[in-house]
Chain A
Amino acid sequence: MSTENSATGAGTGTAPLPPMHCLRHLEPGPPRLAALPTGTPVWLVSRHADVRQVLTDPRLGRAPLYAPDAPPLMVTPNILDDPQSMLNIDGTEHQRLRRTVQRAFTPRAIARWKPWVASVVESLIDELIDRGSPADIVAAYSRPLPVAVISRLMGLDNLDSKRLAHWSDHALSTTAFSAEAIGTAMTEFAAFGAEVIAERRADPGEDLVSSLLAAAAEDGSITEGQLVALVIGLVVAGHETTMTSLGNALVYLLQDGRDAWQRLASDEASAAAATEQILRAVPLGDVTEHMPGLLRRTVEDVEIGGVVIPAGSVVAADTGAANQDPEVFTGDLRTELFSPLAAPMLTFGAGPHHCLGAWLARMELELALHRLARRLPALRMADPVEDVDWRRGLLTRSPDSLRVIW
């Protein structure tokens, strides 16, 4: 299984799927009841203001989703269901854990990486051009870029990209893999995390793992299990979502949205504006019954959008719908690609669990789109979008390969 690299074709058939920029979203409206595949009732929240409230209101949390009295959420749990993960800890304990890494991810800290990330982008484009047209832009660009960035940040120079892809696919599987396969992959991945931690304790460096270990040692309250979950969580989150977002951005920009390519090349500010709009309008994954939104659970009765949601309820904040809420956004990428956002997007969430890597992801995407458009003005997709080979059965969806010509 490990050499097969991806979840393509597993489980859910191979019928053509719409590209991510064409997905239909839930019409925003008041919270309404639905059910998860486990039968657990879930309140779907879809309006921009309501989604923001769900993510910031302290009366809703992640930890209560995994409390002893919690109803089952996933038929086949994955890495997001690990109670030791930073994602599933709330309040002061969460803050102490996040504090060990937060300083490395502020906008200013991330900006210091820009020249180096730009050099990785340029060298990948050099190699792409050297090998010539046609090429697979996923294998040559959208996959290796975020892997190189997170590997450097965490000091994982010898990380085997095939093993990483295997672990990441299992970590974010919904239907692609069995519970046993996911369990085995996550045990191996945790062992890798523990090994990296042991190495850095013995021989600390300038990398993020060394600095988080130093901060955790100073804090004294963080468990070994939490540290392992944090390290492997950073590895997955640090590349998978950026790869997904860049791949889907290219599916849009190299075909339906091709008119914008020249302007993307013109200046970084245009690429930055387009990055924000693409992050808003092109979701990372399909909204499915497995993941109808970012999940939280109420610890007391909470009124959201005029509806009283009882204590102990599971709530799904549909950020994709909120990002297209017609009360707030027009939703039209074609006309708005270079316009400032009308309101903050919710792609990175909000509240205590707001994506740690938001600024790193933005920078990688901006540079990746701008430099690629500048170096390859004639770049376009070689095949119709119906032929795109999608990674399936995972929480995220992006092309497994994408043939381009120039």
Chain B
Amino acid sequence: MTGSSGAEAVVVRVDRDRCIGSGMCALSAPESLALDADGRARPVDRYADGGAELTDGLAEAVEYCPVEALALHSAHGGYRIAPAE
């Protein structure tokens, strides 16, 4: 689940104050993001802490979030990968 060798493991962070619960991320990347009972997004499983493979669906979720509430970070270095600062 951590992807091919050399691919960097990522975690995704949700700014829950910004999140408007569009649900687009949970539809694009159901393996990485889900909607909580309060309608806001939350990272699931290894995407919350340990880190896992950056999938196309997750990259799309981050790019398409209507309020830019999602950020990808390196699981190890901690630095932000997307969106660009």
Chain A residues within CB distance 8 Å of chain B? 52-53, 55-58, 91-92, 95, 98-99, 102-103, 105-108, 344, 348, 350-352, 354, 356, 358
Contacts and interface: CB of A to CB of B under 8 A. Distances in A.
Nearest to B39: A56
Interface in B39-85: 39-40, 63-68, 83
B39 A57 contact: yes
Contacts of B64: 99, 102-103, 106
Contact of A53 (B35, B39, B66): B39
Most A CB atoms within 10 A — which of B20, B22, B64?
B20
Contacts of A103: 63-64
Given A92-B27, A95-B24, A99-B64, 11 more contacts: A56-B23, A56-B35, A56-B38, A58-B23, A106-B65, A107-B67, A344-B17, A351-B22, A354-B66, A356-B66, A358-B66
A343 to B, nearest CB: 9
A376 to B, nearest CB: 33
Contact of A98 (B24, B35, B40): B24
Contacts of A57: 39
A350 B27 contact: no
A352 B39 contact: no
A57 B21 CA distance: 9
Interface of A (DSSP majority class)? helix
**On chain B, which size bracket covers the interface?**
10 to 19
A92 to B, nearest CB: 6
B20 A344 contact: yes
Interface string B11-27: 00000010011111001
A351 B68 contact: no
A347 to B, nearest CB: 12
17 contacts: A55-B21, A56-B20, A56-B35, A56-B38, A95-B23, A103-B64, A106-B63, A106-B66, A106-B68, A107-B67, A344-B17, A350-B20, A350-B39, A352-B23, A354-B66, A358-B66, A358-B67
